Amino acid sequence: MKKEHDTQPGRRRVSASRPSHQRGTERPHGGHFSRPSRETTPSVPAVFDKNALRVIPIGGLEEVGRNMVAIEYGDNILIIDMGLQFPEEDMPGVDYIIPNIEYFKGKERNVLGVIITHAHYDHIGAIPHLIPRLANPPLYGTDLTLAIIKRRQEDFKEISSRLELHQITNDTKLELGIFKVEFFGVSHNIPGSVGVIVHTPEGILVHTGDFKIDERSNIAGVTELDKLERIGKHNPLLLMSDSTNAREIGKQHSEIDIMTELEDIVKNAKGRLIFGTFASLLGRLNEIIQLAAKYKKKLIIEGRSMKNNVEIAKELGYITVPKGTIIPVEEMKSYRNHEIMILATGAQGEERAVLMRIANREHRFIEVEPGDTFVFSSSVIPGNERTVQRLTDKLYREGVDVINYRMMDIHAGGHAKQEDLKKMIEIVKPRYFMPIEGNHSFLRIHGKIATRAGYADDKILVADNGQVIQCKGGICVRTKEKVPSDYVFVDGLGVGDVGDVVLRDRQMMAKDGMFVVIATFDNRTKRVMGNPDLISRGFIYMRESKELLMEVRRLVKRIVEQSAGNHAPGEINWTYIKDNIREEVGEFLYHKTHRHPMVLPVVIEV
């Protein structure tokens, strides 16, 4: 008969228990990933003031991504944006990170609406996961924004039902509970981008969304500074402004200059021209389409997301494609190389994306050839440097030309730089300024820009994720109240079920692998049956380590028989024995290899 081993009540029978040095970390959240803060000790305020305005940045204030701000007054909650953040390198297997909406538990019905400023993933990415958990509040966005949200929603049929979508334009005015909402168009590298003006009982809030200021062209849309000037005359309470490029001095490039550089590349291409870029950079895609038409080239678009986005923008009239400019890839062979331009996904060296398949000769129709010119991002999303370097090396090996062009970067050209940011502050003239959308250091630097614009320190609110800003009687303060803002990980179908413990285990196994020890103890003979079984993965190559493994088997046998041999079946403390196996085998393996695999002891009693 097989019996229960684990003496700890409530624990699973053969749960290979965790090494003691990891015990302290068995909390699903916190620990490694918490962001320490000197100034803002979290504490629940004594009273929730129903007659104060609360501005709560749920995400986007300690990172680029996961943008979400809540505006609350009494029973009225308005949310701006619902984005995702891409995982960092110590979060293996995580698909992305979404805002934490624990604060809204029990308040779901207070959420009057969710306004989406534009269709980039760091602003829309969490919608399928969070909207159902907020009792399906209505979503507001421009036509392009809504179309992209709708298209993406198709990939999430399993988890998310229909969305209630309401189309707005730059000139729409909404009443949502106590709030009155207006919009202003902004220039950004995707069309249909807006900023938001919220009239509250405590005054006017301005949220820029992502924006740039382009004084010389309207190619990437126009930031409606005239509207903001008018608002500026009404003594607005608070400006929340985009910090993505706050570290960059000077002004952002005009699209005219970007177009001129792109045009030089197109004009001078002797062979095929292959642009690797992001499907979401719709503004840039449009410019390339127009240049292809101007120079009578044929353009091929490869990559599902890129095709989709161009299709949507075309349908809505944001992109006009001159007839015959875009051709299906199958027709490429009918043209000479210098007549061909290709727009492809995969500028970050993604393994399965179009660019990599072209370079690897795995693409069905397009194969790299000497004479091709590849144009892609000069800088790279952190974590992707080496895959991009591999792609570049591969392409050079094929004898092609590679042009690294910064304006193919995802955050290049789309965000206001220091002088633009100063101008925004000076036009809106808010009583308080709050930098949003960026790492803490970006916010601080943005704060210094406000200082240059004449703001006193107490008028500049550099906050953390989750930190409640309270405004009452014309005074805004950063409170000590912090609502939950811990990471929520999306991994496959799971949302929030991967926490610190799971990630630490992954990191540990990634570093030194794991080592399962299985001993079958015969209660009758008081001996381990045969030899303990060992499974090693990611640690050593087993066939080459036979002697080491034999030593481990002897060690395990000795530990089990010495500890269990003298006890009656019911009296054996298997937890203690397993702890011993884990520690002694772990030490032995470290001594022999200087590696720390995760050791998992399993004892079967028969």
Q: In the range 87-106, which residues lie near a copy of itself by CB under 8 A? A: 88-89, 92-93
Compute the least distance from the CB of residue 16 to a copy of itself, in Å: 5
Among 530, 565, 567, 576, the residue binding a copy of itself under the rule CB under 8 A is 530
Q: Is residue 538 a contact point for a copy of itself (CB under 8 A)?
A: yes
* Least gap, CB of 525 to a copy of itself (angstroms): 11
Site string for a copy of itself, 158-197 (x = CB under 8 A): ----------------------------------------
Binding mask 62-81 for a copy of itself (x = CB under 8 A): x-------------------
> Which of 431/506 has CB closer to a copy of itself?
506
* Whole-angstrom distance, CA of residue 471 vs CA of residue 478: 9
State the nearest-atom distance from the C-beta of 194 to a copy of itself, in Å.
Answer: 29
Size of the site for a copy of itself (CB under 8 A): 79
* Binding range to a copy of itself, per CB under 8 A, among 114-122, 206-214, 523-531, 576-584: 523-531
Q: Are strands 401-404 and 203-207 parallel, antiparallel or unpaired?
A: unpaired
DSSP string, 264-329: HHHHH-SS-EEEE--TT-HHHHHHHHHHHHHTT-EEEEESHHHHHHHHHHHHTTS----TTSB--G
Rounded CA-CA distance 391/453 in Å is 44
State the nearest-atom distance from the C-beta of 353 to a copy of itself, in Å: 16
Q: Provide, rounded to whole angstroms, the least separation between the CB of residue 410 and a copy of itself.
A: 15
Q: Output the smallest distance, CB 83 to a copy of itself, in A.
A: 18
Q: Amino acid identity of 24? A: G
d(CA 83, CA 66): 4
| Cβ pair 125, 95 in contact under 8 A | no
CB nearer to a copy of itself: pick between 215 and 393: 393
Which residues within the stretch 7-26 sit at the binding site for a copy of itself (CB under 8 A)?
A: 12-16
460-499 positions binding a copy of itself, by CB under 8 A? 491-494, 497-499
Angle between helices 440-452 and 418-428 (to 10 degrees): 60
Which residue, 178 or 509, is less far from a copy of itself as judged by CB?
509
CB of 396 to a copy of itself, least distance (A): 4
Site for a copy of itself in 378-397 (CB under 8 A): 382-383, 385-386, 389, 392-397
Kindly state whether residue 533 participates in binding a copy of itself, applying the rule CB under 8 A: yes
Q: Does 2 bind a copy of itself (CB under 8 A)?
A: yes
Phi, psi of 154 (to 5 degrees): -60, -25
Q: What gap in Å lies between CA 477 and CA 464, rounded to an integer?
A: 13
329 versus 402: smaller Cβ distance to a copy of itself: 402
Q: How many helices (H) and strands (E) are present in the chain, helices listed first?
A: 14, 26
Q: Which is nearer to a copy of itself, 37 or 167 (CB)?
A: 37
CA distances from 280 to 123, 139, 184, 283, 353 (A): 12, 20, 21, 8, 15
Beta strands in 32-178 (DSSP E): 53-59, 68-73, 76-80, 96-98, 111-115, 139-141, 165-167, 173-176
Distance in Å, CB of 17 to a copy of itself, minimum: 10
Task: Please tell me the distance from the alpha carbon of residue 329 to that of residue 134, in angstroms, as a whole number.
Answer: 43
CA distances from 45 to 481, 528, 576 (A): 6, 60, 45
| 505 sits near a copy of itself (criterion: CB under 8 A) | yes
Restricted to residues 38-67, the positions that interact with a copy of itself (CB under 8 A) are 38, 62
Which residue type sits at 209? G
Decide if residue 569 touches a copy of itself (CB under 8 A).
no
Q: CA-to-CA distance for 145 and 332, rounded, in angstroms?
A: 32
C-beta separation of 119 from 152 below 8 A: no
Q: How many Å apart are CA 46 and CA 54, to the nearest integer? A: 15
Q: Is 37 in the site for a copy of itself (CB under 8 A)?
A: yes
Residues in 399-458 at the binding interface with a copy of itself, rule: CB under 8 A: 402, 439-441, 444-445
Interface with a copy of itself, residue 83, by CB under 8 A: no
